[in-house]
């Protein structure tokens, strides 16, 4: 595919930074401009050759001539960023995002970029870690990972194809989903696991003997709580945006806990073994098909 002349990356962290590094590695972009409110992060991004030019704010000089603008900031910042972008966009610029809630992204695009909505592409790469910032960016992050695209009713097919091909070229498997379906799915398999990890860490911290408990924690605790080391600011935004789905999942999880509580109260060995084996088998089978 034809290489981009200029990519503008708003928010230079793990997700956006890794995307830029891969595009450079595949010679799919000539110039990467980074916009970030953290000057030290921008300096680091330039030192790591993630970006070629750095700006602390959205301005004409940063945006002019861009083929693609990727917004890689917390999901609740999208409306304000789109509002600032609106007067700076020209006809053929593509605007995309990488957030994990897609109904809110499309709402921001539709509301604040109505004249440019056709060229707005809602995307979500299923990759990452609890690390953040430019220092976390890495080559090959998206190899064999899913990239969700959520086309909308006014979607320009050429803009969608450009974004799709870029992600495919750097190794991602692209999947098209309805935005509402996307949000329900990722509430269950991503947002809720993070909520559980944060909740469990709080349960430990609220215990009067938390320091003693943590001193005995091992690899199982480490594996289970890894998600609780993720960015609190980012996950606060995601959880609030997708709160309705999470409320339903909390109710469903409470039912599971109540079922386990009843089994334990009755010391029902057979029921407990069946319950645990069903979960164990599902986990062992996952990812092998």
pLDDT digits (tens, 9 = 90+) for 127-178: 876 567 788 889 999 999 999 999 999 999 999 999 999 999 999 999 999 9
Model confidence, pTM: 0.88
Q: Give the integer Cα–Cα distance in Å for 138 and 248.
A: 35
Q: Do 236 and 161 belong together in one domain?
A: no
The 8 Å CB, 24+ separation contacts for 23-29 are 23/166, 23/170, 24/49, 25/139, 25/170, 26/169, 26/170, 27/3, 28/1, 28/3, 28/4, 28/166, 28/169, 28/170, 29/3, 29/4, 29/5
What's residue 2's pLDDT? 87
Q: Do 102 and 239 belong together in one domain?
A: no
Q: Give the integer Cα–Cα distance in Å for 286 and 283.
A: 5
CATH of the domain at 218: 1.10.3660.10
What's residue 289's pLDDT? 60
What's residue 288's pLDDT? 77
What's residue 127's pLDDT? 86
What's residue 233's pLDDT? 87
What's residue 129's pLDDT? 67
Of 131, 153, 177, the domain-final residue: 177
- Measured torsion, CA atoms of residues 200, 202, 208, 210, in degrees rounded to the nearest 10: 70
CATH of the domain at 71: 3.40.50.720
Span 182-192, average pLDDT: 95
Q: Do 112 and 68 belong together in one domain?
A: yes
Of 143, 177, 211, the domain-final residue: 177
**Cβ atoms of residues 99 and 148 within 8 Å:** no
Quick check: 234 pLDDT over 90?
no
Q: Where are the alpha helices (DSSP H) in 113-242?
A: 157-169, 179-186, 192-205, 210-215, 219-225, 232-241
Q: Give the integer Cα–Cα distance in Å for 70 and 28.
A: 15
Of 177, 204, 224, the domain-final residue: 177
CA 264 vs CA 221, 250, 278, 281: distances in Å? 22, 21, 17, 21
Encoded tokens for 96: 């995309």
**Domain range spanning residue 143?**
4-177
Q: Give the integer Cα–Cα distance in Å for 218 and 228.
A: 16
Span 40-46, average pLDDT: 93
Q: Do 137 and 151 belong together in one domain?
A: yes
Q: Do 146 and 67 belong together in one domain?
A: yes
Tokens 């910042």 correspond to 77
> Using one digit for the tens of pLDDT, what is the confidence trace for 6-38?
999 999 989 999 999 999 999 999 999 999 999
Q: Do 172 and 185 belong together in one domain?
A: no
What's residue 231's pLDDT? 86
Question: How many structural domains does the chain have?
Answer: 2
């Amino acid at each position: 595919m034809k290489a981009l002349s200029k990519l503008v990356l708003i928010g230079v962290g793990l997700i956006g930074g890794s995307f830029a590094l891969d595009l450079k590695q595949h010679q799919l972009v000539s110039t990467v401009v980074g916009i970030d409110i953290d000057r030290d992060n921008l300096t680091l991004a330039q030192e790591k050759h993630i970006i070629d030019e750095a700006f602390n704010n959205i301005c004409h000089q940063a945006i002019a001539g861009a083929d693609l603008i990727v917004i890689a900031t917390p999901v609740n910042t999208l409306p304000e960023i789109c509002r600032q972008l609106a007067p700076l966009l020209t006809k053929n610029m593509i605007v995309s995002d990488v957030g994990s809630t897609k109904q809110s992204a499309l709402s921001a695009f539709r509301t604040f970029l109505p004249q440019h909505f056709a060229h707005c592409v809602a995307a979500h790469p299923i990759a990452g870690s609890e690390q953040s910032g430019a220092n976390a960016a890495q080559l090959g992050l998206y190899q064999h990972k899913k990239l969700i695209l959520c086309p909308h009713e006014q979607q320009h097919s050429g803009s969608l194809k450009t974004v799709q091909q870029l992600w495919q070229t750097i190794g991602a498997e692209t999947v098209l989903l309805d935005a509402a379906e996307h949000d329900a799915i990722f509430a269950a398999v991503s947002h809720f696991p993070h909520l559980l990890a944060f909740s469990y860490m709080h349960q430990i911290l609220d215990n009067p003997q938390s320091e003693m408990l943590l001193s005995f924690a091992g690899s199982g605790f480490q594996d289970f709580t890894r998600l609780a080391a993720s960015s609190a600011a980012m996950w606060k935004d995601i959880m609030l945006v997708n709160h309705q789905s999470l409320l339903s999942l909390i109710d469903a999880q409470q039912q599971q806990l109540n079922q386990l509580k009843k089994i334990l109260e009755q010391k029902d060995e057979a029921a407990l073994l069946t319950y645990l084996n069903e979960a164990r088998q599902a986990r062992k089978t996952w990812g092998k098909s």
